[in-house]
């Protein structure tokens, strides 16, 4: 049996009637007869009838068709905020990270980085401001973590569209290109010193930082490739045990709490005896009163005695450090 729907228009109003119909096989083929006329059923009557049918057939195998074939068009609740959905037909695509992208934007503005970048990075006729591109570069790396997508090429091809920054910042995905990101890095490098100075002051205000004791370390970063167009990529003493690769030397100065104060990139063939004094000279001009500041550097015995004497640097012995006779050659 099934329900058959009849529709009739009277005085400009459409009326819907239902009849209970039974299918029978006869000598002349399949025939249908009306068992009972149900009349016009309101929406609540249809819902009650469907629930009654569901309660009687819930233990039977197989999928039962709805009594009212147009039930999908009938709301199950008078509340307009409640709708029916078919879970088997619900899907989602283009999933993007929102929470961490939103939090990254809030931190970016809380640190006044949007104002600092806009103040010091030159702006031309770009459709997307360089300050916004810096925010995209930094926040996207924060959201997607480690991996190949953190490179400028990876951000432009896949990384940016994995975040909700397109909606939060209003920059379409097709506007975030690798060339634009690379040009932004060039502009960022030109404004490196004033940006670091403003960031140091802002972090000091927010976290009451003290700059009387700073930590410094030098390390190296190697490149896989010829690096023929880089003036800084040179072969030198490799802390990564890759003397076959060109490298650059990185200097980083942070507070005791780990907040960055200064960084510098030196040529790969520059040894610590040259790089560290250059770092000291820069820091002495930035900390305000260099006589009240001290820098602890994890350089071991890589500094010659003459450099220590010229810069008034004192050595400290650490557990596990080899004695002077076993320290090996000095760069």
Picking from 117, 243, 90, 138, the residue whose alpha carbon sits closest to that of residue 187 is 117
Assigned domain for 204 exists: no
Confidence of residue 314 (pLDDT cuts 50, 70, 90): low
Q: What is the pLDDT of residue 324?
A: 47
What is the C-alpha to C-alpha distance for residues 234 and 116, in angstroms, rounded to an integer?
Answer: 33
Assigned domain for 20 exists: yes
Task: Give the CA angle between residues 291, 292, 294 to the nearest 5°.
Answer: 90
- Domain tally, the chain: 3
What pairs with residue 214 in β-bridges? 255, 295
What is the C-alpha to C-alpha distance for residues 279 and 275, in angstroms, rounded to an integer?
Answer: 6
Q: Which two tokens stand for residue 250?
A: 């990185």
- Shared domain check, 50 and 22: yes
Distances from the Cα of 244 to the Cα of 125, 145, 235, angstroms: 43, 29, 8
Can you give the length of the chain in residues? 331
Assigned domain for 205 exists: no
Assigned domain for 195 exists: no
Domain housing 33: 2-89
- Shared domain check, 322 and 253: yes
Mean pLDDT of 44-70: 67
- Shared domain check, 301 and 218: yes
Mean pLDDT of 52-58: 69
User: Residue 39 pLDDT more than 90?
Assistant: no
Is pTM beyond 0.75 here?
Answer: no
Confidence of residue 17 (pLDDT cuts 50, 70, 90): confident
Assigned domain for 203 exists: no
138-185 pLDDT per residue, tens: 999 888 865 557 788 888 988 898 889 999 999 999 999 999 999 999
CATH number at residue 312: 3.30.420
CB under 8 A, 24+ apart: contacts of 12-15: 15/40
Assigned domain for 197 exists: no
Mean pLDDT of 17-33: 85
- Shared domain check, 103 and 77: no
- Shared domain check, 116 and 57: no
Tell me what the pLDDT averaged over the chain comes to: 81
């Amino acid at each position: 049996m099934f329900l058959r729907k009849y529709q009739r228009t009277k005085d400009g109003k459409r009326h819907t009637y239902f009849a209970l119909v039974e299918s029978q096989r006869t000598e002349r083929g399949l025939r249908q007869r009306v068992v009972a006329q149900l009349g016009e059923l309101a929406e609540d009557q249809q819902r009650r009838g469907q629930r009654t049918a569901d309660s009687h057939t819930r233990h039977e195998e197989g999928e039962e068709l709805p009594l009212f074939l147009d039930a999908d068009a009938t709301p199950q609740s008078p509340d307009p905020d409640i709708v029916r959905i078919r879970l088997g037909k619900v899907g989602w695509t283009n999933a993007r990270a929102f929470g961490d992208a939103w939090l990254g934007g809030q931190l970016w503005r809380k640190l006044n980085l949007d104002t600092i970048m806009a103040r010091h990075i030159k702006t031309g006729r770009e459709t997307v401001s360089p300050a916004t591109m810096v925010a995209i570069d930094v926040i996207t790396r924060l959201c997607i973590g480690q991996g190949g997508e953190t490179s400028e090429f990876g951000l432009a091809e896949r990384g940016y569209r994995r975040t909700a920054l397109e909606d939060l910042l209003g920059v379409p995905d097709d506007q975030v290109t690798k060339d634009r990101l690379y040009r932004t890095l060039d502009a960022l490098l030109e404004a490196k010193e004033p940006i670091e100075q403003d960031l140091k002051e802002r972090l000091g205000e927010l976290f009451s930082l003290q700059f009387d004791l700073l930590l410094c370390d030098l390390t190296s970063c190697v490149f896989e490739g010829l690096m023929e167009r880089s003036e800084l990529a040179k072969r030198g003493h490799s802390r990564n045990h890759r003397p076959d690769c060109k490298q650059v030397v990185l200097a980083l100065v942070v507070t005791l709490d780990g907040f960055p104060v200064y960084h510098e990139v030196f040529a790969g063939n520059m040894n610590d005896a040259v790089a560290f004094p250059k770092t000291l000279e820069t820091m002495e001009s930035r900390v305000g009163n260099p006589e009240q500041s001290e820098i602890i550097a994890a350089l071991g015995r890589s500094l010659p005695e003459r450099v220590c004497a010229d810069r008034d640097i004192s050595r400290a012995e650490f557990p596990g450090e080899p004695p002077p006779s076993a320290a090996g050659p000095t760069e």
